[in-house]
């Protein structure tokens, strides 16, 4: 009997397409499929470098960026697994500071595909398994592992003994999967806390912090909470961090916004809570070098600059929920205090998001919203729905066919001072914006 013909492997895109077709739902939280697959792969998650596990609603990616910047400043090698990507899937996989290449990514995905044998599997599960395969093959001092969604049943939550469990600010998001109360959401996130492993938490609403404290107590996990065991503040434009071990006066983060000082403080607290890491103050000066695209990112060069009014500022932020809108609006207030400009918001959102809860944060800053549809997304919010939400807040709204068209429309308006333009509402919008601007993440 002849052996079956080998499946043509094709390109990285081909294997991703095949894996993406294995499950009818994009999201179906469970650890059963993951445990089965990892066992067939000889458990690469047990062979990766020591893990810092990061969950939360907002600020996960920025916190990982700060952690990586400090570790690299200390001369250590840090892998990072983050999501979603903006332009290329390679952005999700950093190997000791560099994005994984197409060939090594394809090899990892093909290994996962072969081990899975065509059984049901969500693509995020396949992506996480591929990440473990990659990181197990490349030495490093630390793996920075970002939760995809929730925590308790997220496919990254197979790590049994991380160096630390980190919880960034929690708010209402993904309620269809995580529950419709902050207490329920906090329970899902806090489930990454492991026995005797330090847990480091950002400042949280009282009901969320109560859940985190209770879970930390159950797991006998030492808790390092913002405002309790550690503090971060802004003094004369610098970041001042303090805990029981002393005070550090550091240069401000390059990432813009008051919330970035909080995210940086969370990263500092995390690294100081890990006893096996002995980092001097010089390492923490790496905070100033952290970069994370589409988080209050100023587009200073690129194609889009030429489409707006001469002299305008264009900012890009992937905020997409009420809390994300709040911190972005606060950052805009800081900019307005420095240099006053009229503000125009170009917004595109996914249909599952609460547009009114997001846009209300900008109601006191602008009355001009340009609604666009996120390109190439089946579940994008129709612009007229987003426009209705803005009108209900008393905002002036226009609908544009694209971000480029919105910028051209703004360029035709008369301004005494060149405007400040914010493009926001979703990371799924931010990615195409960076691509069309010619400035993808590197």
Q: What is the pLDDT of residues 333-357, one digit of tens each?
A: 999 999 999 999 999 999 999 999 9
Between the CA of residue 208 and those of 88, 171, 190, 290, 293, what are the distances in Å?
34, 9, 9, 28, 28
Could you read off the pLDDT of 118-169 as tens digits, one per residue? 999 999 999 999 999 999 999 999 999 999 999 999 999 999 999 999 999 9
Cα(217)–Cα(221) distance, integer angstroms: 6
The domain spans of the chain are 12-289, 297-437
- At 8, the pLDDT band (50, 70, 90 cuts) reads low
pLDDT bucket at 406, cuts 50 / 70 / 90? very high
Report which of 424, 195, 203, 199 is spatially closest to residue 332, judged by C-alpha positions.
Answer: 424
**Could you give phi then psi for residue 381, rounded to 5 degrees?**
-75, 130
Tell me the C-alpha distance between 70 and 119, whole Å. Answer: 40
Looking at residue 175, its pLDDT comes to 80
Global pTM reads 0.93
Q: Per the CATH hierarchy, to which homologous superfamily does domain 297-437 belong?
A: Mur ligase, C-terminal domain (3.90.190.20)
The predicted-structure confidence for 79-121, as pLDDT tens digits, reads as follows 999 999 999 999 999 999 899 999 999 999 999 999 999 999 9
Q: Which of 7-21, 76-90, 391-405 has the lowest mean pLDDT?
A: 7-21
What is the arithmetic mean of pLDDT over 6-25? 85
Instruction: Name the 3-class secondary structure at 79.
Output: strand
CA dist 87 and 16 (Å) reads 15
pLDDT at 5 over 50: no
Look up the CATH superfamily of 12-289: Mur-like, catalytic domain (3.40.1190.10)
* 326 has a pLDDT exceeding 80: yes
Across all residues in the chain, what is the average pLDDT? 95
Beta strands 164-167 and 199-201, pairing class = parallel
**pLDDT of 51 strictly over 80:** yes
CB 378 within 8 Å of CB 350: no
Tell which residue, 55, 52, 48, 46, has the closest CA to residue 192: 55
Distances from the Cα of 39 to the Cαs of 21, 28, 112, 305, 367, in angstroms?
Answer: 22, 20, 11, 50, 55
Residue 388's φ and ψ, nearest 5 degrees, are -60, -40
Summarize the confidence of residues 293-314 as an average pLDDT: 95
pLDDT at 2 over 50: no
């Amino acid at each position: 009997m002849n052996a079956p013909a080998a499946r043509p492997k094709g390109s990285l895109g081909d294997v991703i397409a095949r894996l993406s077709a294995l499950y009818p739902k994009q999201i179906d939280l469970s650890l059963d499929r993951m445990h089965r697959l990892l066992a067939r792969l000889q458990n690469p998650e047990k062979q990766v470098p020591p893990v810092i596990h990061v969950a939360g609603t907002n600020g996960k990616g920025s916190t990982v960026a700060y952690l990586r910047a400090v570790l690299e400043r200390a001369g250590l090698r840090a892998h990072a697994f983050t999501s979603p990507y903006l332009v290329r899937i390679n952005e999700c996989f950093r190997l000791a500071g560099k994005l994984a290449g197409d060939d090594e990514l394809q090899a990892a995905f093909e290994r996962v595909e072969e081990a899975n044998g065509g059984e049901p599997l969500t693509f995020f599960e396949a992506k996480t398994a591929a990440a473990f395969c990659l990181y197990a093959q490349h030495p490093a001092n630390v793996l920075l592992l970002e939760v995809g969604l929730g925590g308790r049943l997220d496919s990254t939550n197979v790590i049994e003994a991380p160096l630390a469990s980190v919880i960034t600010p929690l708010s209402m998001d993904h309620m269809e999967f995580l529950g419709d109360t902050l207490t329920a959401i906090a329970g899902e996130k806090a489930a990454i806390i492991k026995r005797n492993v330090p847990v480091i938490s950002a400042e949280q609403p009282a009901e969320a912090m109560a859940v985190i404290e209770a879970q930390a107590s159950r797991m006998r996990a030492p808790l390092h909470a913002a405002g309790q065991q550690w503090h971060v503040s802004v003094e004369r434009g610098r970041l001042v961090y303090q805990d029981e071990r002393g005070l550090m006066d550091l240069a401000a983060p390059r990432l813009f916004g008051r919330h970035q000082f909080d995210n940086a403080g969370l990263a500092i607290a995390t690294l100081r809570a890990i006893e096996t890491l002995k980092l001097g103050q010089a390492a923490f000066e790496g905070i100033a070098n952290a970069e994370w695209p589409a988080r209050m990112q100023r587009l200073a060069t690129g194609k889009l600059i030429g489409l707006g009014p001469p002299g305008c500022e264009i900012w890009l932020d992937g905020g997409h929920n009420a809390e994300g809108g709040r911190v972005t609006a606060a950052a805009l207030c800081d900019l307005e205090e420095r240099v006053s400009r009229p503000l125009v918001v170009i917004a595109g959102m996914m249909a599952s998001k609460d547009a009114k809860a997001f846009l209300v944060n900008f109601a006191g800053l602008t009355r001009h919203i340009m609604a666009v549809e996120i390109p190439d997304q089946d579940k994008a919010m129709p612009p007229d729905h987003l426009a209705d939400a803005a009108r209900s807040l008393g905002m002036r709204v226009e609908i544009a066919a694209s971000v480029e068209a919105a910028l051209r429309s703004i360029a035709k308006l008369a301004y005494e001072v060149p405007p400040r333009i914010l493009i926001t509402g979703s990371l799924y919008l931010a990615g195409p914006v960076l691509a069309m601007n010619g400035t993808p993440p590197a």
